[in-house]
A = this chain, B = another copy of it.
Amino acid sequence: MDKREIFTEISLFKRILEEKGLKFSKQRKLILEQFFIEEKHLNVEEIYQRLKKYNIGLATVYRNVKIFNNIGLLKEIVVDEVSYYELKIYSKKPLHIHFKCISCNDIIDVDERKIVLEYLKLNKDMEDRNGFEIYDVNIMFYGYCQKCKGCK
């Protein structure tokens, strides 16, 4: 995503905040930008480490990721007891499958049509066999990513 596109997205977020009566503060802009600088899942600590040089308070990060999650700008995923956040615009999928590398700790989104189809069958089986009514699912794979596979 180039600088112009990021600018467009950030402007959109500004509008969304303003529609909710929320202000587009310097700190909120900085937090949201982090998700464009590196398109990955970030937790509060990671965001804070990147922004503390701007004198941002840790409580501000906690407060705002929670707000952004509530108004649907970010989506929270919990992995190993830690909350990570990702841009909601990247998570408009029928379900969420994540992969966490046990070497580099990166969390990767899995987004393959065929895998989603396999999953749908799994879901239907679950409902039929157990009498459940399923609303959401969370699939987490753990292992080595392509990058780390060679040098473990």
Contact = CB atoms under 8 A, between A and B. Distances in A.
A24 interface: no
A110 B136 CA distance: 15
A102 B135 contact: yes
Question: Binding site of A, secondary structure by majority: helix, strand, loop or mixed?
Answer: mixed
B130 A146 contact: yes
A142 B132 CA distance: 9
Interface residues of A, number: 37
Interface string A104-138: 00001010101100110111011001111111111
B146 A131 contact: yes
Contact of A78 (B80, B112, B129): B80
Interface of A: 78, 80-81, 83, 99, 102, 108, 110, 112, 114-115, 118-119, 121-123, 125-126, 129-146, 149
